[in-house]
Structure 1
């Protein structure tokens, strides 16, 4: 999978050896969101097996000098041949607002479309308002939940007791996917 990334950067599949590098940036990149419990939650959401078995549809972005700038961990659903799932995405605070997240998403959309996937699914925590805004600005629809918080639908206990999530879906057939 190739991606159109801004000059001075390159993209590649993550490798198992990248797992510690990604875990090391989570607290800083999420700026302490949800405190120590949030830090533990983020680490648990990125187990090593994702860097071993789900790399063809995932991407890492580095500067030309090797600094980690962004990552997207996603996969094609093995259960639903019409779906793909974006599991976890991060962009370094110094690299935000430059379109890097958009580049990664377009790359993933193109990969999913090339594999005849129609639906892209994703989730985020209700506290991550930046993520909610990013997803909706990229054509994701908020899936109705069992409650709302500040007008955002929440799926209580989505990832277990007391682990609510905001759930998104995107129909690739609805939008024209630009080449990655």
Structure 2
């Protein structure tokens, strides 16, 4: 499967079918067209028969790292290595631009995301153990909004 830059048309298809990617619309508020308009060089998509089946929206952060904001795979295409393929494409892009660090976050309750980032992608979790079974950075996403923060040297 081929990884390409995500177009605005792909973006609209993704948000229209958001439940097919995430099982609900809980992440819809995190999907904004700014990731295509302003960070289009780091917004990637995989299509099947012209229809987006997987995507990664990333950007370069102030910490001189590539940051993965969202990675979504249509549920019917999960467990086929598409998430890893998107990450590897983003990592290659980062390395070509001279970056050596990758970062991502998730919620402490998102066991599927934690397993993917930690076990499959080999990312380290930073933060402290507390009321969760994994380390978190307290208040990372705002007051009362703890997050699992992943980091990896690439």
TM-score above 0.5, yes or no: yes
Q: 3-state DSSP class of the match of 1:147? A: coil
Give the CA RMSD over aligned residues. Answer: 1.7
Compute the displacement of 1:163 (Å). 2.3
Q: 3-state DSSP class of the match of 1:154? A: coil
Alpha-carbon contact 1:147-1:155 (below 8 Å) kept: no
Residue ranges of structure 2 left out of the alignment (5+ in a row): none
Q: TM-score normalised to the size of structure 1?
A: 0.77
Partner of 1:30: 22
- Asked if 1:142 corresponds to 2:125, the answer is yes
- Asked if 1:70 corresponds to 2:54, the answer is yes
From 142, 150, 154, give the equivalent of 2:136: 154
Q: TM-score normalised to the size of structure 2?
A: 0.89
From 75, 85, 88, give the equivalent of 2:70: 88
Q: 3-state DSSP class of the match of 2:142? A: coil
Q: 3-state DSSP class of the match of 1:161? A: coil
Residue ranges of structure 1 left out of the alignment (5+ in a row): 33-38, 173-180
2:44 & 2:114 partners in 1: Cα distance?
Answer: 21
Partner of 1:17: 9
When Rg is computed on C-alpha atoms for both structures, the one with the higher figure is: 1
